[in-house]
Amino acid sequence: MSKQIPVSHMAFVRARAGRSAELGLRLSALIEPSRAAPGCLSFALQHSQCDPQLWLVSGFWSSQQAMTAYFGTPTMEIFAELVQELVVNSLDFHTFKDVSAAQALHQSGAAVHKLAG
């Protein structure tokens, strides 16, 4: 039986032209501290196979409280730095929660956080 994941986040981060390698290197600094954060069940950095500028940062959390607490840590400051230093062309950040089939039919208007671009 698979383990239920109560909440997650995904950030689609697009590098500015010529800055993808730098972006990947800097985002990789998130992996270990994020995995060690209280309530983190899984944390990953992925690079698109068909778009060399696109990266995906995802995390799965034991609770909304754990994920929200993580967002307030100094580790997350890297996103603001990347935007300010013009390494990032766009950053689309989304949070998710598990829903039943019935809930999925009746829900609309999930929160989307577009930070740049």
Confidence (pLDDT) at 40:
97
Structural domains of the chain, with CATH? 7-116 (3.30.70.100)
| pLDDT above 60 for 108 | no
> Whole-angstrom Cα distance, residue 91 to residue 117?
7
Contact present, 16 and 91 (Cβ < 8 Å) = no
**pLDDT tens, 24-58?**
999 999 999 999 999 999 999 999 999 999 999 99
**pLDDT tens, 73-102?**
999 999 999 999 999 999 999 999 887 666
> Whole-angstrom Cα distance, residue 107 to residue 103?
6
- When pLDDT is cut at 50, 70 and 90, the band that residue 116 belongs to is low
